[in-house]
Amino acid sequence: MNRLTLINDALAPADQALIHVSDLALQRGYGIFDFFKVINGNPVFLDNHLDRFYRSAARMRLQPVMPADILREKIAELIAANNLIQSGVRITLTGGYSPDGYTISHPNLIVTEQPLNLPTSIHEQGISLITFPYQRQLPDVKTIDYLMAVWLQDKISQAQAADVLYHYDDCITECPRANIFMVTSSNVLITPANNILKGVTRHRVLEIAAGEMKVEERDINKEEIYKAREVFITSTTKHLMPVKLIDGKIIGTGTAGETTRYLCNKYNQSVYGK
């Protein structure tokens, strides 16, 4: 099916949604994006995603094609036209058509929508992660640069893992597309505070946990997370995903823990309204 895509200020069939080869997104990988889910035609946590999108644009010195209220209207038109029950919407802002392949120009806005299957309950078995020393450039910005994450796919596959967990100066930071949390033996919820992209799902989990348990945002060293009672990652598409192994070391009991289950149920209630 040829779904509609928003290119700058106009809807077009996806196979006609084109940009020129001189765009800095193609020439230098320069651009930003955000991604949110839609359930029954309703965007989930859209305010948070748009806030981050415009913050990222400002940090990258990219002039938005339109203000947030107009973009919100255009997104609503796109969602209504494509009429998908569950979907993921990606908003991309490029570096624009550069005259010399190096200078930022007037950005291009691309908004796409694809069907999306979302979890409704916790993943009982959990996933495995491997660690890798790496620090993303401008970590507080959601850029289109996933060079290291893509390059590491063979290594992840060979380790029979689901994803990679970056660390910097012996402190863990994030996965390429997810934030990470750990729960201590005394039921303290901890998540890294520095050198990360602060995700929308991360923000919602911290809101849920506030008043329910002790919460800390701080550096976590690798040895500390190996000894955690529970570990889980968060993202727009994964919600809360338990982690059973890191670098082959079993985390806790090797299955979803009690705190992870509780927070996952609360989060899903906020998403699905039940």
Q: Would you place residue 274 in the very low, low, confident or very high pLDDT band (cuts 50, 70, 90)?
A: low
Q: What angle do helix axes 200-209 and 258-272 make, rounded to 10 degrees?
A: 110
Instruction: Annotate 236-262 with b (16+ C-beta within 10 A) or e (fewer).
Output: bebbbbbbbbbeeeebbeeebbebbbb
pLDDT, residue 157, reads 98
pLDDT on residue 261: 96
Residue 14 DSSP class: G
Contact between residue 269 and residue 207 where contact means Cβ atoms under 8 Å apart: no
At 2, the pLDDT band (50, 70, 90 cuts) reads: confident
Distance between CA atoms of residues 100 and 41, nearest Å: 41
Hey, what domains does the chain have and what are their CATH numbers?
Answer: 4-115 (3.30.470.10), 127-272 (3.20.10.10)
Which residue's entry shows tokens 């624009």? 96
pLDDT, tens digit (0-9, with 9 covering 90-100), for 181-213 = 999 999 999 999 999 999 999 999 999 999 899
Triad 236, 241, 245: Cα angle to 5°? 140
Q: Is the pLDDT of residue 77 over 70?
A: yes
In which band, very low, low, confident or very high, does the pLDDT at 273 lie, cut at 50, 70 and 90?
confident
Mean per-residue pLDDT, 9-21: 94
Stretch 202-229: mean pLDDT, rounded? 96
**Res 223 pLDDT > 90:** yes
pLDDT value at residue 252: 95
pLDDT of residue 168: 94
Q: What is the pLDDT of residues 126-176, one digit of tens each?
A: 999 999 999 999 999 999 999 999 999 999 999 999 999 999 999 999 999
pLDDT the model gives residue 270: 94
Residue 149: what pLDDT?
Answer: 98
Residue 1, pLDDT > 80, answer: no
Look at residue 24 in the predicted model and tell me its pLDDT. 98
